[in-house]
Structure 1
Amino acid sequence: MRVVFAGTPAPAVPSLRTLIDSGRHEVLAVVTRPDTVAGRGRRAVRSEVGRVADEHGIEVLTPQSPRDPEFVARLTELAPDCCPVVAYGALIPQPVLDIPVHGWVNLHFSLLPAWRGAAPVQAAIAAGDEITGASTFRLEAGLDTGPVYGVVTETVRPTDTAGDLLDRLAGAGATLLTSTLDALEDGIVNAVPQSADGVSYAPKITVDAARIDWSLPAHVVDRHIRSVTPAPGAWTMIGDLRVKVGPVTATEETLEPGEIGVRKKALLIGTGSSAVQLGVVQPPGKKAMAATDWARGARLDEKAGAR
């Protein structure tokens, strides 16, 4: 099958590499978000997907919008049979969805219709889901509402961060996406409409939303922190410092919500139930470090509290 792949961040890379290595599907071009400007030299930085395409000599299309006439004309000229898409980062208008014969097949990291939207993995962890997965579905104008071709399931482990879980889903999802394209080419798969029951949404997580609410029970605080690790990263104010906080461990000690307990071998913060022990923290302008090391060096004032 002749395909144009759309994707941008690292979780899309396994799918692109699997398609390239499949020996069955020809990747005509890659669509990715425009280069960003970063660093002291303000250099243009290619997306993760764009870099892989460059490595393989594949044409890279970086429209500001999928509506751009030049992009629409080029995609029409390429005449792909299908456009697989993984975390591209922009809505595809209907006229562009209609260009490939088999449409756009999206790999989404949830068991649809659960957790439609931008942050399904984070939402699954925050909600305490024990099982999640990935789905391939035909993209349509609605938000992740299209009919589903196939799914894979994945257990959410008790210590999973969003990064851990997304890595596993990206690998399993790559195989699912390629198998879906195989089946489409062979004419042996039919998309099944999503159920009207069990619909939930996972909006993009802002930095403000990643702030820790210490009044919540310890297990909810734990899920919240893991759900936003590594990005955007959970944070709290300790005194006048805004500190990033890595995954925590529940304890049997009791402290008031936000109360700090500096122990010889542990840094504790109270929640709405039992206190939690901090593992890694990152103070402003510094690298992440063990919470106990930071507490000693910062001469942490227990009265400051976390908020």
Structure 2
Amino acid sequence: MTLTIGLSRMDRVRPLADGRVRVGSPETPVDVEVSLLPTQALFNQQLVDHTFDCVELPIATFVRLMEEGDENPYVALPVFPSRHFRLSCVFVNADAGISSPADLAGRRVGVPVFDMAAAVWLRGILQDHYGLDRVAPVYVTGGLEQARAGEEHPQFYPPQFTVERRGDASLAQLLADGEIDALYTARAPSTWPSDRVTRLFERPQEEELGYFRRTGIFPPMHLVGVKRHIAEASPELIPQLYRAFRDAQDLARADLWDSTALSTMLPWQLESLRESEDLMGGDPWPMGFAANRHTVATLLDYLRRDRLIEQDFSPEEVFAGPAQDFLLAT
């Protein structure tokens, strides 16, 4: 068997690409072809052409696919290669008079992709922890850095939200020009930092750490999916792939620990790792179902309250399919 794997360019998965971690066992190895792509290009390609057998997927989009039942082409693994505290990703026009989340009520807030996990988490967190009703802003969609006539991938806009589409200018420029007041984004806009664009939270790390201490959640943005027909034909692949991703992440941490030659451009790389693990009480990147059940349940709640999904899925259902007993025991 040759299995194609598509992933973003991240240290947690690089050991799979460079061959330090193999899928399968020495007796029954699985040949893999790993491609590392820019994140949005990977998603756009996979959600249209379904290129890869095993692939990193936007987690909110995967849950939306679950409503298609047997038509959902993927089985999910409790592997979350991308996580991010998104309170650092809310940007505001410096002249808009916005100093707190409550000030966003009635304002024009840009969002490149309405159902992206960054926006889902932010709408939920800002409502539950800062009192901003998720429907209070006017949401403006468009390309982050370039004008975009269409959508990154098919979108559904629940009727309780007020949504405007701007295809004539980038959201980054609209924010700097004051045509939108704020921006929820996965990637910092090119117009920041500047005297025209600032962050909503002056010290976002403090806010994000406070959120983590209250909830225990380090929000996942993506998960790993396997094509359903492959998983059903070869269910032994599911535990093999899970263990490979786990081992790759363990190696990525070991690389950060190795100070012989720094693997990143962070001058205090090892100290940053130790500080993060101390502040977060252990492993900041937990794998497996048990350690992430509450987190997944919270995301499902946010998606329902956004009305991006209608069904009352349980976290267990997210990982339904071949080898489910193994996945739920992780």
Q: Same fold (TM over 0.5)?
A: no
Which structure has the higher relative contact order (CA within 8 Å, separation 6+)? 2
Q: From the two aligned structures, give the one with the greater helix fraction.
A: 2
Length-normalised TM-score, structure 2: 0.27
Length-normalised TM-score, structure 1: 0.28
Q: Which has the larger radius of gyration?
A: 1
Q: From the two aligned structures, give the one with the greater strand fraction.
A: 1
